[in-house]
Amino acid sequence: MRASMSDEMTDKEIRHVLYQSQGLLLILDLGLCIFFVETLPLNLWFHVESKSVALGLGVGIIMAALQGVVDYILPTRWGTEDHLDERLFCAFPLPALVLTMAVVAFIEEVLFRGLVQHFIGFVATCVVFTFIHFRYLKKPRLLITVAVFSVCLGSLYLLTESLIAPILAHFTVNVTSGLIYKWLKNKRAK
């Protein structure tokens, strides 16, 4: 049986691919923000209120728990056999993982909720966000999970009119996933 591409990549290569993709998204974020500065509600994006923080963290915890339940209930074959998510999260030492996931959540939420959702609307953004995770297209469990997460993140932005809540929710889901993958890896190693 042929090894998947992620099995052939080193941790350093996996981190490098993540840094490259997020770097491109950051450049896209900056370019779009500069080009459309007059039409964007930039003054509201990072308005911090206790409601936004609580909703972001709360929804993030619920989404992470939902992901765990779905992973437990649905057949493994509906997930991913390439273990790329696990490899990605385990490629980072814990402090670097937390920092990296904060940056990823920031970059992706500015792009999708702040920019794309502003210009093409809630539903279209949910579809774009879901299908941008194209490696999940043949994995119904992961595709459905990403679609539900996209609806939750977009709804948080609509509800709070701030990117703080979706950024915190996205960060919470990613870090929780990373911690679970690290725990499982350590458990298997014992």
3-state secondary structure the chain: CCCCHHHHCCHHHHHHHHHHHHHHHHHHHHHHHHHCCCCCCHHHHCCCCHHHHHHHHHHHHHHHHHHHHHHHHCCHHHCCCCCHHHHHHHCCCHHHHHHHHHHHHHHHHHHHHHHHHHHHCHHHHHHHHHHHCHHHCCCHHHHHHHHHHHHHHHHHHHHHCCCHHHHHHHHHHHHHHHHHHHHHHHHHHC
pTM above 0.85, yes or no: yes
Q: Is residue 42 part of a domain?
A: no
Give mean pLDDT, residues 3-30.
Answer: 86
Q: Is residue 132 part of a domain?
A: yes
Q: Position 101: which residue type?
A: M
Q: Is residue 131 part of a domain?
A: yes
> Over 80: is that where the pLDDT of 111 sits?
yes
Q: Is residue 105 part of a domain?
A: yes
Q: Is residue 2 part of a domain?
A: no
Give mean pLDDT, residues 160-189.
Answer: 90
Residue 157 and residue 166 in contact, taking contact as beta carbons nearer than 8 Å: yes
Task: Using pLDDT thresholds of 50, 70 and 90, give the confidence band for residue 3.
Answer: very low
- Number of structural domains (the chain) is 1
Q: Is residue 1 part of a domain?
A: no
Q: Is residue 39 part of a domain?
A: no
- Looking at every residue in the chain, the average pLDDT score rounds to 87
Which domain range does residue 19 map to? Answer: 10-34+48-189
